[in-house]
Structure 1
Amino acid sequence: MNGNGTTVLRVAGRPVGRYVTRPELPARLSPRPYLHPVTTLAGTAVTELSPADHPHHLGVGVAVPDVEGFNFWGGRTYVRDRGPTELDNHGAQRHVTFQLRDPDGFVEELRWVAAGGELLRERRTVAAIELTDLAWALDLTFSLTNVTGNPLSIGSPATNGRPGAAYGGFFWRARKEPSAPEVLTAGADGAEKAHGRPADWLALRGGTWTLVFTGATGQTRRDPWFVRSGEYPGVGSSLAHDARVPLPPGDTLVRRVVTVVADGRLDRGDAAALVRRAVNP
């Protein structure tokens, strides 16, 4: 870790990701640690930070728009019967310590705090895994524990009345290019067919790169994917797809997403093979 609060992930000695632990951001962006830039092994950046269309999109990380009414996503809050609304309800994720830190990964402890104090304690595990000369994988697990002593619940704009907007959890804001990236799963083509549905894996294929996302635990595989390609390129999980997720005092919610980062445009066979190798290296 260097003096400005960042640590660099490496694969076979090559830097592939920069993790910022203490970003200096306005409260409206829900400050939180993030990975940016994340690159292919050839050096192509496949993330964006605070793009003009969504300044609160911060590379790769964990973000939730509604934890008991507090916004840990950034930007406006979707309010039932009112729509997107500017509220003074933003929380922040605060880095506490690295329990382990190596060139190819780390284990981190974070506090999710808002006006009411600390709501969640997170343990985040990140690993960079070498796969081939053209591909590596980012393995990210987050565990959220309710530390308040009171029941909490996790929601989304979808559970608050906005259909199709069940974002929240793992989120990857991808590289924006003149042409929208292609979206494919094992059995479907296009963002419209992939969005809002579970899939064993989901690929975002750009001009010279491919990202392949997979849920690496049973519960994560059951979460539908949140997918955008035309308006902006982004892929995330949907923790609260059609109902709020209860989190009683002391309970822990765990999710693991593994992402293959590849140079070139992978076909379905190559995408599936690399996912299998990434999940069970």
Structure 2
Amino acid sequence: MRDDESIGDRQVLAVGGREVADYRWLPKLATTLSPRPFLHPVRTLAGTRVTELMPADHPHHLGVSVAVPDAGGVNFWGGRTFVRGRGSVLLPNHGVQRHVRLNRQGGNVIEPELEWIAPEGAVLLRERRRVAAVPLSDTAWALDFAFALTNATAGPLGFASPQVNGRPGAGYGGFFWRAPMSKSECEGNVRVLGPGLEGEEALHGASTPWLGLNGFAPAPWTLVFIAAGGEGDPWFVRSGDYVGVGTSLALAEPLVVGPGAVLSRRIITVVADDTLTEKSMAAITETVASHPDLGPNWVPD
């Protein structure tokens, strides 16, 4: 069965009987949003929402997703494409991530298979994904998000970012989490922390083992993003114009994947109530590293 027949439009992840995340697939999204599966809303155990969906400032930001602005020239991010010498322009180059099947679902684990399809219908990438919700404490749980992209074309496939294509500071593309808060709401309501670092300027483009995000509205919450598997992709961070954290597969240079080759990544995000300090964030990354359900062995291939 195909995408919308096999997955419907909503699968729920739960921790201890509490729904903490909805995994959504809306095949009728506008083409310019680069339709793809996403998680929204993601919630703390106390019920505070920590994702945003299709905000007015960036309608193509879809909660938590895997989004790439340039994969073989196809836009799997949504919105405009940066073209050297022209700037950001709207092109008819948007791809779609289509569900093929679910290998596992229910409770706290979802394992879909996807195809990344170009506008003309060619399959560029085949993906295996695993998304799991793992309890950590009475106030925190972990979203374990792993994916493996296989080049389905006959030749090398390049991943790029707007920064690679000439727009400084815009090295985004990969795992991406759009958090709540617009530009008018950011000041005083968000803080970005890393190991011995603080602020967007210090952490944007940095390759640190973890990155923390404190939010203070509507209730205190914390996200701690942990780069599992030692890949060390640089972080993409925004905390002024909006609040978002992602990884940069191709920060300043193209990333080329050969035919049949596999690109795997895994990000574990701790979702916590309250405001964690840098010391507490570092401690919780150690908890994740030693957790029996968050071990280093599972990466889709």
Range of TM-score over shorter length: over 0.9
Distance 2:206 2:278 in 1: 18
- Using structure 2 for the length normalisation, give the TM-score: 0.90
User: How far off is 1:179 after superposition?
Assistant: 3.5
> What amino acid is aligned across from residue 206 of structure 1 in structure 2?
G
Distance 2:37 2:78 in 1: 13
SS at match of 1:99: strand
Q: Does 1:233 align with 2:243?
A: yes
Distance 2:285 2:68 in 1: 26
> What amino acid is aligned across from residue 135 of structure 1 in structure 2?
A
Match of 1:214 in 2: 226
> What amino acid is aligned across from residue 58 of structure 2 in structure 1?
H
Give the superposed CA RMSD: 1.5
Distance 1:223 1:142 in 2: 14
Match of 1:140 in 2: 145
Residues 56-113 of structure 1: per-residue CA shift (max 9 Å, x gap): 0000010000001100000000001111011000000001111111311111100000
Q: Does 1:272 align with 2:276?
A: no
Distance 1:279 1:60 in 2: 22
Answer yes or no: is the 8 Å Cα contact 1:77–1:87 preserved in 2: yes
> What amino acid is aligned across from residue 221 of structure 2 in structure 1?
W
Match of 2:50 in 1: 46
> What amino acid is aligned across from residue 129 of structure 2 in structure 1?
R
Distance 1:80 1:171 in 2: 24
Answer yes or no: is the 8 Å Cα contact 2:100–2:112 preserved in 1: yes
- Using structure 1 for the length normalisation, give the TM-score: 0.96
Match of 2:132 in 1: 127
Answer yes or no: is the 8 Å Cα contact 2:44–2:221 preserved in 1: yes
User: How far off is 1:118 after superposition?
Assistant: 0.4
User: How far off is 1:200 after superposition?
Assistant: 1.1
Answer yes or no: is the 8 Å Cα contact 2:69–2:76 preserved in 1: yes
Moved more, 171-180 or 235-244: 171-180
User: How far off is 1:210 after superposition?
Assistant: 0.4
**Count of residues paired in the alignment:** 279
User: How far off is 1:21 after superposition?
Assistant: 2.4
Residues 120-156 of structure 1: per-residue CA shift (max 9 Å, x gap): 0000111101000000010101100001112111000
Distance 2:139 2:155 in 1: 48
Alignment CA distance shift 1:215-1:191 (3 Å): same
Q: Does 1:114 align with 2:118?
A: yes
Q: Does 1:187 align with 2:196?
A: yes
Residue ranges of structure 2 left out of the alignment (5+ in a row): 292-301
Match of 2:18 in 1: 14
Report the identity percentage: 54
SS at match of 1:174: strand
Residue ranges of structure 1 left out of the alignment (5+ in a row): none
